[in-house]
Amino acid sequence: MQTASVTRTSKETDITVTILPEDGRTEISTGIGFFDHMLTALSVHSQITMQICAKGDLHVDAHHTVEDTGIVLGQAFAKALGDKSGIVRYGSAYIPMDESLAFCALDICNRPFLVFDAEFTNDMIGAYDACLTEEFLRAFAFNAGITLHVRVLYGKNDHHKTEAAYKALAHALRIAVAPTGTGQAFSTKGLLG
């Protein structure tokens, strides 16, 4: 991975994401406390330093800020990986969070797709709409070029279920971006896509 920075400004949001391959200081500020907590977990557990500053129309709701952060993070992630050669490419992880269990499997392959399977009891987790987890994951996967499957197998507490899902994504990413040592695309075709 290399350092990458992307800024996206619209009438709804103004977002800058920087990815640093070295162990830097993660700084997350979106104006949505629970979302900051999830993005921090994503950065720490993936061991990918992320600096994210997002300002959005939170007077409307959190949707634009969360989705657009996924877009910009995905673009920065893709930029940091370049042509994606020389990485393991695949990753998966089961992550427990107290009574909840989540699973993530992914392929960094330039063929974006999302399968998301989770049920939430409550509409909100703090100021974060529970349904926005799927919106964030879709925006991230499609802009990063990742086939992404995330499933919350069970759980009762929506905070725990969501955190397990983000951490499962983080651990799967950490595995997938590990270098193979060959510098070649990990594909029988010789290229990804």
Residue 184 covered by a domain: no
CATH of the domain at 111: 3.30.230.40
Mean pLDDT of 163-179: 96
pTM of the model: 0.93
Count of the separate structural domains present in the chain: 1
Residue 68 covered by a domain: yes
Residue 46 covered by a domain: yes
How far from each other are the two terminal CA atoms of the chain, in whole angstroms? 19
Residue 82 covered by a domain: yes
Residue 139 covered by a domain: yes
Q: Token digits for 125?
A: 């987790």
Which percentage of the chain shows pLDDT scores above 90? 85
Domain residues for the domain of 12 are 4-176
Residue 128 covered by a domain: yes
Residue 34 covered by a domain: yes
pLDDT tens, 19-56?
997 777 899 999 999 999 999 999 999 999 999 999 99
pLDDT band at 64 (very low <50, low <70, confident <90, very high): very high
Residue 64 covered by a domain: yes
